[in-house]
Structure 1
Amino acid sequence: MALSSLPTMFCGVLGLVLLCLVWWLLELLWWKPRRLEQLLRAQGLTGTSYQFLTGDLKDENLLKKEAMSRPLPLRCHDIAPRILPFHYKNVKAHGKTCLSWSGPIPTVAVCDPGLVKEMLSDKLGYFGKPQFPAVAEMLSNGLAQYEGDKWVQHRRIINPAFSLQEMKQTLPAFSACCEEMVSRWTECLCSKGTCEVDVWPELKKLTGDAISRTAFSSSYLQGRRVFELLTEQTKRLVSTFWTILVPGYLYLPTKNNRRMHQIKKEIESILRGIIGKRVQEMEDGISTKQDILGLMLESNMRNVDEKGQLIPVMTIEEIIEHCKLFYFAGSDTTSILLTWTMVLLSMHLEWQVSARKEVLGLFGKNKPKYEDLSQLKTVTMILHEVLRLYPPATLFKRKTYKEADIGGVRYPSGVIVDIPILLIHHDPDVWGSDVHEFRPERFAEGIAKASKFQGAFIPFSSGPRICIGQNFAMLEAKIALCTILQHFEFELAPTYTHAPNLVITMEPMHGAPINLRAI
């Protein structure tokens, strides 16, 4: 072969590679989305039209920016247009099952409680959770990210640590954390008898301390450091939300990326040390501590191989990821629930008075006992109504991993399904014309009779993948609220601005300043 022909051959091969690349990109970014759009529209679905590459991201950002530009009036609980403005607008225009676009991926919002219940039960295995590599990399690649047999196996191992009986053992730790918070607030009152406290960071500290103690017992201070680092990591990850969608972005040597990798290494180093020490104690025959970590490690060692020897199913790395998830989900959910509960009880003082009367009638100024918590009817109704109006998680996502027939529509593999919890919780067809009013009495006969459709109340999801920590969160919320009501009356401070804000969960954008008064 003549040497002079090599450049020609090289150019030919390069041209062929580029042609294949262009063809692949056109298939991914134009032809495939257009085919899927035609398929879904042919079955009666309506919604937005596909826009090349970006889909509806530009419109979502504009609507979000506009919604966030001004606060809501006090006592206004019609928050869906502010928190999920794009979904709200799309559902209003196109119905409770409608089409939109996450870049080139078709996304179907489903707001019908019956269809949602069917999808979340997923008895035929049509749906899975979409994977978010950046979240898994920097926050947690634990139970929430797993699928299939691995999820089943790990859920079975972790379940014992979150049983009602084991939750009873966490009560002293919860109470101790609440007493420390009450002491801080009492000192703040000083001789004035009243003071202003931003309860949002205070309640985050409370739940962070609680999960540290209940998960790691004697390693509580190390656990608190993990919580602080995860809080910083979450803020940094959210600040780069759109850029992390670019493949490989997290590995660019930016200042923020370097710090996130440092945080990740420090968290894993702390947890590896705590877990390694516990494993060694177990191997040495030292009794397992009855905290979440101890129970999880004990359950992990109940598997026997063919020789009759105990073997762990989860690796140390997997246990580390589960611990990170417990921190993030366990502390964030409860602190947000408590924050909005205090805000709403400050807006609706008649319910605060009613709840305090119930708590003082049952417990006086004594610590609540686990056995008596089931008698908290008013407090439970209030917490449920807060979870309905201000659910910490406002939207669940699922993905079809094989062709699925839901509600008479055949969804091909690869479609994202959005379940806007907030829109379902604020739907007047489901809850009545008073849907945007704070009316805890709607839960007087329990969750099942609170709405017109069973399965419409899903703050912790439902079906097999219902939140494993829901009992933990509700127990902690009841203990904390009872303790606060026993010691303080509270109302909104003049500096309070009603501006719910969706970050990962729904937070008060400008904090939650509240005036406390000792009783």
Structure 2
Amino acid sequence: METHFLSKLLISVALVGIIGVFVRVYNAVVAEPRRLQSAMRKQGLKGPPPTILLGNLLEIKKARDAAAAANAATVKGPPPSHNCGAALFSFFGNWRNQYGDVFMFSLGSLQIVHVTEPEMVKEITTCTSLDLGRPTYEAKDRGPLLGQGILTSNGPYWAHQKKIIAPELYMDKGMINVIQESTMALLKSWMKKIEADGGLADIKIDEYMGMFSGDVISRACFGSNYADGEEIFMKFGALKESESKKVFMSTGIPFLRHIPTKSNREAWALEKEIKDLILNVVKGRKESGFEKDLLQTVLEGAKNSNMIKDVDRFIVDNCKNIYLAGYETTAVSAAWCLMLLASHPEWQQRIRDEVVDISNGQIPDAEMIRKMKLLSMAINESLRLYPPVPVVSREALKDMKFGNLNVPKGMNLWTIVTTIHTDPKIWGPDSYQFNPARFANGITGACKFPYLYMPFGVGPRVCLGQNLALVELKILISSILSKFSLSLSPKYVHSPAMGLVIEPGLGVNVLMKLL
């Protein structure tokens, strides 16, 4: 009798558990999305009709597959116009034409308002309220590559970000020396290759950009432990390859990250290796003493803050974010900029003349790059056409209002950077062309609404790697132009690809010779 009672009790408990799981799943994938959709439709907001569970993912996949097929047939050489948004996000363009600058769409259970209306974008991106923060799906759905440390958190942590990674550290003399040393190592490797190839070499530069950026960030982050840093960033690279394939299409599908698929198991294993490597470096640092580098600032931030409960996780997550902010953005931005300069010899020569005049045969330093106006214009234009951050995303953590739109808690707001960076109504009829002259009077003189220029994000949550990336780009590109003449290789195929950043899908091949 007692055994029978226990069996019934266990069955009842199991049923309650199953019902609880079902209710939770139903709320996540059906009830909550419908609530948000209804709240927006009542305000007259329209968008492509979503399907249950997948939202608009099938429509997006169809558009992306068609774009990939079109890119596969692309003629080699520079594109006639630089509209990577049409290649990567054609579905947004189609929806925008149909529904206007503000519409809603769904990625699985994730409900999003697309916003490119200038004044509403300004209001969203300059909002300092902690009620508008980092999307929760980035932590829940985007997996191990994105950390939850102080560099990307909502709430009180965010207010202290600049105390942890001070922008002025990026212009420190020691940091400049690191960038110069890594630049010289790169130049020497190219010189040897050019000499070995008889004076003209066909070089796939994006591979070298990755090595350069990885060397800089390893030395900047881990100081004398930079050899350990290089091993860590190699692991990051492998993890990035795994994660970048899943970022967009898996967003908004509940619990997908927790299913032990082969790719998820590989990512989890890499994450554990990275964590162990970072914490071993931290242990050694605590034993060896103080060093002036990014890791030290993170350690001191963790030590001095009373808001951090899991210190190890805080440190590991910040190292992940330094990788994304300092490594990935610089490598792809440098590759795109050199591709554009190789395609436009007139601008290449103008910038070279400026660099040679200012640097006088020396490798540029912080003071010199401040004077290189033409170089800054070209980099700004390159970042306009190929921004490393393609989407600025926010989530309403409480009910909010922007413009005439009441945004309920849980709704996400997306601004597509590639769209607003190339809109002819904002940038003029040549918006899809490489024209650094538009930045002759700075960003405020370049477009109708300067606040819509946001290659590294914008507002109070701008990417912390911005200053480091710009300093690296200026020293690297000015040094390259002072030593080499560049032209685009016949092997080059223009193929923007969407990973964690917008990158050259088939690489950038450049013909290079010594001056």
Change (3 A) 1:57 1:135: closer
- Residue type of the alignment partner of 2:215: D
- Residue type of the alignment partner of 1:42: K
How far off is 1:465 after superposition?
0.9
- Residue type of the alignment partner of 2:314: E
1:441 aligns with 2:448: no
Measure, in 1, the Cα distance between the counterparts of 2:19 and 2:352.
Answer: 71
- Does the aligned pair in 2 maintain the 1:402–1:414 contact within 8 Å? yes
Q: Find the counterpart in structure 2 of residue 99 from structure 1.
A: 104
- Residue type of the alignment partner of 1:203: M
Q: Find the counterpart in structure 2 of residue 399 from structure 1.
A: 395
Q: How does 1:162-181 map to 2 (within 5 A)?
A: 162-163=167-168, 166-181=171-186
Report the secondary structure of 2:486's partner residue: strand
- Residue type of the alignment partner of 2:423: D
Measure, in 1, the Cα distance between the counterparts of 2:467 and 2:326.
Answer: 10
- Residue type of the alignment partner of 1:234: K
- Does the aligned pair in 1 maintain the 2:150–2:314 contact within 8 Å? no
Measure, in 2, the Cα distance between the counterparts of 1:107 and 1:218.
Answer: 45
Q: Find the counterpart in structure 2 of residue 274 from structure 1.
A: 281
Unpaired segments ≥5 residues, structure 2 = none
How far off is 1:81 after superposition?
1.2
- Does the aligned pair in 2 maintain the 1:289–1:295 contact within 8 Å? no
Measure, in 2, the Cα distance between the counterparts of 1:316 and 1:34.
Answer: 39
1:215 aligns with 2:221: yes
2:236 pairs with 225, 230, 252, which one?
Answer: 230
Measure, in 2, the Cα distance between the counterparts of 1:5 and 1:314.
Answer: 43
How far off is 1:33 after superposition?
3.3
Greater CA drift, 335-344 or 360-369: 360-369
Q: Deviations for 1:223-270, whole angstroms, at most 9, x for unmatched residues?
A: 111111100011112334556866555555554334323322222222
Unpaired segments ≥5 residues, structure 1 = 283-287, 306-310
Q: Find the counterpart in structure 2 of residue 327 from structure 1.
A: 323
How far off is 1:26 after superposition?
5.1
Q: Deviations for 1:191-221, whole angstroms, at most 9, x for unmatched residues?
A: 5110100001110110000111122221121
Q: How does 1:147-162 map to 2 (within 5 A)?
A: 147-153=154-160, 155-160=161-166, 162=167
Change (3 A) 1:362 1:260: same
Greater CA drift, 268-277 or 242-251: 242-251
2:119 pairs with 114, 123, 128, which one?
Answer: 114
- Does the aligned pair in 2 maintain the 1:381–1:441 contact within 8 Å? yes
Q: Find the counterpart in structure 2 of residue 390 from structure 1.
A: 386
Measure, in 2, the Cα distance between the counterparts of 1:250 and 1:35.
Answer: 24
1:198 pairs with 194, 204, 219, which one?
Answer: 204
- Residue type of the alignment partner of 2:279: R
Report the secondary structure of 2:485's partner residue: strand
- Does the aligned pair in 1 maintain the 2:109–2:254 contact within 8 Å? no
Q: How does 1:424-463 map to 2 (within 5 A)?
A: 424-463=420-459
With structure 1 as the length reference, what TM-score do the two structures score?
0.89
Measure, in 1, the Cα distance between the counterparts of 2:510 and 2:227.
Answer: 28
How far off is 1:87 after superposition?
1.5
- Does the aligned pair in 2 maintain the 1:340–1:390 contact within 8 Å? yes
Report the secondary structure of 2:443's partner residue: coil
Report the secondary structure of 2:450's partner residue: coil
Change (3 A) 1:39 1:187: same
Measure, in 1, the Cα distance between the counterparts of 2:363 and 2:44.
Answer: 57
Q: Find the counterpart in structure 2 of residue 352 from structure 1.
A: 348
Measure, in 2, the Cα distance between the counterparts of 1:256 and 1:20.
Answer: 29
With structure 2 as the length reference, what TM-score do the two structures score?
0.90
CA RMSD of aligned residues (A): 2.9
Q: How does 1:30-41 map to 2 (within 5 A)?
A: 30-41=30-41
- Does the aligned pair in 2 maintain the 1:114–1:455 contact within 8 Å? no
How far off is 1:138 after superposition?
4.2
How far off is 1:438 after superposition?
0.8
Q: Find the counterpart in structure 2 of residue 62 from structure 1.
A: 62
How far off is 1:17 after superposition?
7.3
Measure, in 2, the Cα distance between the counterparts of 1:502 and 1:223.
Answer: 26
- Does the aligned pair in 1 maintain the 2:165–2:297 contact within 8 Å? no
2:92 pairs with 87, 94, 98, which one?
Answer: 87
- Residue type of the alignment partner of 1:469: G
1:48 aligns with 2:48: yes
Report the secondary structure of 2:361's partner residue: coil
Q: How does 1:454-473 map to 2 (within 5 A)?
A: 454-473=450-469
1:290 pairs with 289, 292, 301, which one?
Answer: 292
Aligned residues: 506
Greater CA drift, 99-108 or 339-348: 99-108
Q: Find the counterpart in structure 2 of residue 256 from structure 1.
A: 263
Measure, in 2, the Cα distance between the counterparts of 1:35 and 1:329.
Answer: 35
Measure, in 2, the Cα distance between the counterparts of 1:333 and 1:159.
Answer: 17
Change (3 A) 1:441 1:164: farther
Measure, in 2, the Cα distance between the counterparts of 1:470 and 1:182.
Answer: 24
Report the secondary structure of 1:142's partner residue: coil
Change (3 A) 1:45 1:270: same
Q: Deviations for 1:462-481, whole angstroms, at most 9, x for unmatched residues?
A: 22111112111100000000
Q: Deviations for 1:387-424, whole angstroms, at most 9, x for unmatched residues?
A: 10100111122111111111201111111111101111
Measure, in 2, the Cα distance between the counterparts of 1:469 and 1:13.
Answer: 50
- Residue type of the alignment partner of 2:176: L
- Residue type of the alignment partner of 2:149: G
Q: How does 1:357-376 map to 2 (within 5 A)?
A: 357-376=353-372
- Does the aligned pair in 1 maintain the 2:335–2:508 contact within 8 Å? yes
Measure, in 1, the Cα distance between the counterparts of 2:146 and 2:8.
Answer: 50
Q: Find the counterpart in structure 2 of residue 123 from structure 1.
A: 128
How far off is 1:14 after superposition?
7.7
Q: Find the counterpart in structure 2 of residue 418 from structure 1.
A: 414
How far off is 1:165 after superposition?
6.8
- Does the aligned pair in 1 maintain the 2:377–2:439 contact within 8 Å? yes
Measure, in 2, the Cα distance between the counterparts of 1:372 and 1:149.
Answer: 38
Change (3 A) 1:335 1:250: same
- Residue type of the alignment partner of 1:56: N
Report the secondary structure of 1:516's partner residue: strand
Report the secondary structure of 2:442's partner residue: coil
- Does the aligned pair in 1 maintain the 2:107–2:252 contact within 8 Å? no
Q: Deviations for 1:86-140, whole angstroms, at most 9, x for unmatched residues?
A: 2121112111111111223321101123222211222333311112235453443
